[in-house]
Structure 1
Amino acid sequence: MLATIQKQPNNYVVTFTRSLAHSIDAVWAVLTENDKLQKWMSNLEVIDLQKNGKMHFNRNDGTDAFEEITITDYAKQQTLEFDWGKDSVRFELSMTREGSILVLQETISELTDHTPKDLAGWHICLELLCDLLNGIVHDEFPMEQWRKWFAEYELLIAHVENN
């Protein structure tokens, strides 16, 4: 399911929503435990899981280079928010009778040529996360699927910018 983009007075809020047939415990584990997290978002690493704690965005380029990310909001099994460059990424979990709902919101200060790439990346990462919860681990990032979603997000952003 394609994300939604809402234009705010000073930024844009992109929202991805996924209904999952998995418990909050299971989803929280794939968001916060490095051995699981890195199976759907290989660049992220939790260092200190708490508000004002740290994460690393690892370059994964053969060096040990990384960017330090600050966790700006945290409530165990409910909320994980962190800096994403000039922007922010927020995960929220809530329970349903069938499992849980995962909401990913990226707050973006300005739309750029890179934005649809980033959104397509999050889209694919959420698919990988869902697959991981269902016991499927991907050895490689699915670039063909990413290209498909990149084209969709280019159209969505063009629509938002023209309205």
Structure 2
Amino acid sequence: MDRGTFIQHEGRPAVRFERTYAHPAERVWEAVSTPEGLAHWFPSTVELEPHAGGKITFSGDPNLEAMTGTVLAFEPPRRLAFSWGGDELRFNVESIDAEHCRLTLVNVLEARDTAARNAAGWTVCLAELGKHLSGASADGPHSTSAEPWQPLYDEYVASGMPYGAAVPSA
């Protein structure tokens, strides 16, 4: 499984993840682009205006203040991008065949030293997305049933991914 890589995206630091799912692109699109789908795995409660230039709001994350961003791209069923604080999130859903697709998540970072922290967080979130898509109970990344964040963070730091940003308290 792709545990995420540190990359440069259009001259900015980013972490990138790729997952392949045994589901049609439309199923994965629903999970990554609607408040109902995101509720199962995303770290914040999301409301969004489904068009480029629309407003997106984030609330309910115990590690962040509520905030708003802008939908940068909304192209069903393949591409969603939005700003989140100083970061950008980019989701690309690519059909492989009628029953399989590939999801690429790129978190373009405001600060390089957030790479290990955010990569660990997205690893937890994507594990919850995998549960949700498979029909298993997905209680979200802040739940006690989610994969523990700290060992993942330690793994990313040990692998040489940039770190140093404040991390959530346990």
TM range (shorter): 0.7 to 0.9
What residue number does 2:138 align with? 138
* 2:116–2:161 Cα contact (<8 Å) kept: no
Q: Is the 8 A contact 1:7 1:160 kept in 2?
A: no
Name 2:45's counterpart in structure 1: 44
Report whether the alignment pairs 1:147 with 2:150. Answer: yes
CA distance in 2 between counterparts of 1:9 and 1:79 reads 17
For the 8 Å contact 2:6–2:16, the answer to whether it is kept is: yes
1:58-90 CA-to-partner distances (Å, cap 9, x unmatched) read 0356xxx72011111121111100112212110
- Paired residues of 2:15 and 2:108 also in contact (CA < 8 A): yes
Equivalent position SS for 2:52: coil
Aligned partner letter, 1:104: L
Pairing of 1:39-78 with structure 2 (within 5 A):
39-60=40-61, 66-78=66-78
Residue type of the partner of 2:158?
A: L
Moved more, 40-49 or 142-151: 142-151
User: How many matched pairs?
Assistant: 156
Structure 2 runs not aligned, ≥5 long = 164-170
Q: Is the 8 A contact 1:40 1:129 kept in 2?
A: yes
Classify 1:99/1:111 alpha carbon distance in 2 versus 1 (closer, same or farther; 3 Å).
Answer: same
Moved over 4 A (4+): 141-144
Q: Distance in 2 between matches of 1:80 and 1:109?
A: 19
Aligned to 1:33: 34
Q: Give yes or no for contact 1:52–1:70 (8 Å, CA) kept in 2.
A: yes
CA distance in 1 between partners of 2:56 and 2:3 (Å): 27
Report the AA paired with residue 81 of structure 2.
Answer: E
- What's the counterpart of residue 103 of structure 2? 102
Aligned to 1:15: 16
Preserved contact between residue 32 and residue 46 of structure 1 (Cα < 8 Å): no
The whole-number CA distance in structure 2 between the counterparts of 1:28 and 1:50 is: 14
Deviation at 1:142, TM superposition (A): 4.5
| More helix per residue | 1
Q: Which runs of 5+ in 1 are unaligned?
A: none
Normalised to the residue count of structure 2, the TM-score between the two structures is 0.80
What is the rounded CA distance, in whole Å, between the counterparts of 2:72 and 2:122 in structure 1? 19
Instruction: Give % identity.
Output: 24
User: How far did residue 6 of structure 1 move?
Assistant: 1.8
Cα distance between partner residues in 2 of 1:105 and 1:83: 12
The residue type paired with residue 53 of structure 2 is N
TM-score by length of 1: 0.84
Report the secondary structure of 1:104's partner residue: strand
